[in-house]
Amino acid sequence: MKRNVFLLMAVIAFSLPAIIPANFSAAYAKTVNLTYSIFFPPTHGQCQAGMSWAKEVEKRTDGRLKITVFPGGTLTDANQCYDGVVKGISDIGMSCFAYTRGRFPLMEVIDLPLGYPNGQVVTHVANEFYESFQPEELKEVKVLYIHGHGPGLLHMKKPVRTLEDLKGLKIRSTGLSAKVVEALGATPVAMPQGSTYEALQKGVVEGTFGPIEVLKGWRQAEVIQYTTDCFDVGYTTAMFVVMNRNKWNAFPEDIRKIITEVSREWIDVHGAVWDQIDMEGRKYTLSLSNEIIQLPEEENKRWTEAIEPVINDYMKSAQEKGLDGEKAVAAVRRLIKKYSAVYQK
């Protein structure tokens, strides 16, 4: 009898590794190590916000998760970050949807020049839009949250006060902002932020479209002299924070709950950081005696009319891909109005 009991125990012990589910080890391991790829440089406010998110997750999981952050695109380049998460090169990634143009046709609506007033509005609009529409294009990852910069403005080596001043100029842009550049009469040159300083310095481009924070966060105020405050055509660049789907699925429910809770809280964190660094960028460029040009009302109207075809083209293109572009644009406009009432410019 004793011999049979010992034999049964031996069989059970031998069989346990085969029958215990994969997430058992994740649930009870002392520490699970994760990697986080961020394209921002380590000194940038958004990289620091991402790093603080990682620290908070570590804290609330009592050290069961340890997240190593790789800033500045050192693990995966900005345009490879999303695929890097899908393939497991990194467990978590932060970069821009616009860096892989055409891959996220529904989320592209966020980047349209719809007159965003600030980063808080952009960030809350992007998250509510994602939650409402649940785009199929993001099913291969776990979306933790989304954030986006305040209004993209025009930063130049020479003054731009009218649409005519833009004719033929080469302007750095990404994603849908390239279409905005074209609509305004200039020539878009695609490149990520990390390459923009040198391109401006060497005259490869004569200006750049981006939030005013880039003038300090990416030091671009050193190589431009003018900013055109074209808020009414303010576009944004939405940025994802996503996790490898298999890694997410392996976590027990309590770990998922903690990550979800921290991520929801960090929507406000990133939005506030965008607005803070926009203010810092504005102060920094003025401290270097650069000029900020305010467009007169009539000129503003000309700019908004000029970019209207970009919005119409998006709706048409989305329709051709089986997406309701008109509904998406209407939703974003409604959300901008909703959150602008909460987060005043």
CA distance 212 to 286: 11
Q: By C-alpha distance, which of 336, 327, 331, 321 is closest to 104?
A: 321
Question: Are 141 and 261 part of one and the same domain?
Answer: yes
Q: So what's the pLDDT on residue 96? A: 95
CATH of the domain at 75: 3.40.190.170
> What pLDDT, on the 0 to 100 scale, is given for residue 231?
86
In a domain, 24, yes or no: yes
CA dist list (Å): 5 to 12, 13, 265: 11, 12, 53
Same domain for 163 and 54? no
Q: What is the pLDDT of residues 77-126, one digit of tens each?
A: 999 999 999 999 999 999 999 988 789 999 999 999 999 999 999 999 99
Tell whether 61 and 161 lie within a shared domain.
Answer: no
Name the domain count of the chain: 2
Question: Which helix (H) or strand (E) element contains residue 7?
Answer: helix 2-19
- Please write the tens of the pLDDT for every residue from 201-241: 999 999 999 999 999 999 999 999 999 999 889 899 999 99
Average confidence score pLDDT of the chain: 91
| Domain final position from 223, 248, 274 | 274
User: Residue 171: pLDDT band by 50, 70, 90 thresholds?
Assistant: very high
Burial class of 114 by CB neighbour count within 10 A (0 to 12, 13 to 18, 19+) = buried
pLDDT bucket at 29, cuts 50 / 70 / 90: low
**77 and 35 share a domain?**
yes
The answer to whether position 345 is within a domain reads no
For residue 194, the enclosing domain spans 153-235+278-340
Answer left, alpha or beta for residue 115, where phi above 0 means left and psi between -120 and 50 means alpha. Answer: left
| Confidence (pLDDT) at 345 | 64
Which residues lie closer than 8 Å to 316 by C-beta, 6 or more apart? 325
- Co-location of 265 and 181 in the same domain: no
Asked whether residue 290 is domain-assigned, the answer is yes
Residues 179/112, Cβ–Cβ less than 8 Å: no
127 within some domain: yes
d(CA 106, CA 315) in angstroms, rounded, equals 10
**What percentage of the chain reaches a pLDDT higher than 70?**
91
Same domain, 135 and 46: yes
Whether residues 171 and 212 fall in one domain: yes
